[in-house]
Amino acid sequence: MPPLVVVGIDGLPPALAERFAADGTMPALGRLIGSGCFGTLRSTPNYQSASAWTSIATGVNPGRHGIVHFTNPIRGSYQFEQIDARSRQAATIWRLLSDAGRRVAVLNMPVSYPAEPVNGVMISGWLCPSPSAEGFTHPPKLAAQIAMHVGDYPIHPDVRRHAEGGRYDRAASAARSGIETKLSVAQWLLEAERPDLLCVVVTETDSLQHWCWHLLDEAHPMHDTVTASHWRESIKSVYRALDDGIAKLLRAAGDAADLLIVSDHGQAPNSGGQVLLRPWLIDAGYLAPVGRSAPRRVADRILRDGFAMLRSGLPNRSKAWLRAHLPSWQTRTQAGVCGVSADWSRTRAFTEVGHVFINLRGRQPRGIVEPGTEYELLLDELSEGLLSLRDADTGADLVAAVERGAAHFHGPEADLMPDLLVHWRHDVVTRRGIWSSGAGDRLVERKAAPRLPPGAHHPDGTLIAYGPSFRLASEAGVRSIYDVAPTIVHLLGCSVPGHFDGAAMLDLLAEEAREEVESLPVNDTAPEAGRNARAGDDEVVMERLRSLGYIE
């Protein structure tokens, strides 16, 4: 059986793919778009990478696989914890395909650390602290082979540090080097392992776009023509390297191979509204902050900063000893990162991971909002207030839409999902703050905060399908991210499991490729639930999340 090659490009919008295909930056991509099927891949409702890539990997919505963001709610508390593959509550298609006898090679898939035992090879993604960490690869010996093949393996490029300093050439160089290395390893494993499925994800594009989107998007409010022109070739070199790597992969796979290119979401200007959600909830009376005296606030700041220094400065062996002998260590060292602070006896709604949660009686430990009518009326009231938010400088509306989580999330993990999804406009960037009629037309100011990345996620990513199994030069339209896994399973000659939320994109296939060959044994057993013991490098991963603006 010829291989199926899946290339994940994190954050690639269809318009940028078309633009770089048309201007010659990405000629191979241009040929694929012109000869294959091209369209839009609609992300999960919250269009966050952790939940979206997990839906691609499992074929189910976040209410089933349980991943909402890179930090997840802890059931029965107000805390959020860093996730990894053990947080996932649904089987991956690599597991299902392995059980069906297919050989797989999976590289750099987000939320794949620690690597799971598959029929083939796996290199975990950027939730892995380092290439020396246990669980970086399956089989374990593959880590040493990678080091011999390419030397240092860059899990996550340091784009932010260079971009914030205006060194966009160095930011681009870091991203380009990461892409070249990962696609080189992918080609090596494709030729050495001869898998039925090769899936490789490059996340460098998302990192670069978060911090350089104002250079790529001429409509961005922060776009400066002179600056963008100066750095244009440096930025484009990243996409040329990506295009070259895809072309080499396709040549190595052979003419009989099929190719899918998928993006978990797109990219757009960052409105800055997300950081104003908590201040607005406080000002509007939905969230009651904990009352603290000035000395207490100073003491809390000293403690928080002290724990932050310990997190970053202590050797891993020392942190492991503290976790073993002082159980509160883990909570205290992470509370400032993932905790939600409020007077819960007076709080009806709070925010985390960019959306709104209700303090619901029976679900939250100190919930005060009654399920039923009170809950529904509060959602209506909050939605109306959010839609009234206006930029303090221009008066422009800031929120494009507010949706109820229950309309999108279903399954045993749905109670962990946000109650309201807030979709910010991408053509307005707020700098000073917001006006809200819900707050009595008072100004809710943006406090001093770390610089926000110019780019933010957009729900629409890229879909390209090419090869003998697909129709020629076809418009794919808008497809659901939940349709990717069923299509992969079908192309590998197996029946699509009934628990998937999507369906195989049969209308994009050539007639002879639409027939199912055999039944796929369904083993939908989730990995062990909850947070397991770690190697002590959580802070390494958390710093990566901060670098993308995912957490503060």
Tens-place pLDDT, residues 376-408: 999 999 999 999 999 999 999 999 999 999 999
pLDDT given at position 432? 85
Nearest to 159 by CA among 208, 113, 221, 103: 208
| Mean pLDDT of all residues in 13-31 | 99
Please state, in angstroms and rounded to a whole number, the distance separating the CA atoms of residues 493 and 533.
38
Residue of 326 and 160 predicted with greater confidence: 160
Under 8 Å between Cβ of 37 and 474: yes
pLDDT given at position 435? 86
CATH number of 4-269+456-547: 3.40.720.10
Q: pTM of the full predicted structure?
A: 0.89
Average pLDDT, the chain: 89
Tens of pLDDT, residues 495-550? 999 999 999 999 999 999 998 666 666 665 555 444 443 444 555 555 545 555 54
Q: What is the DSSP string of 214-269?
A: HHH-TTSTT--HHHHHHHHHHHHHHHHHHHHHHHHHHHHH-TT-EEEEE-S-EEEE
What are the residue boundaries of the structural domains of the chain, listed by start?
4-269+456-547, 273-290+341-452
Q: How far is CA 389 from CA 22, 102, 382, 414, 419, in A?
A: 38, 52, 11, 28, 19
Token pair 């970086």 is at which residue?
A: 136
Q: How far apart are the first and last CA of the chain?
A: 47
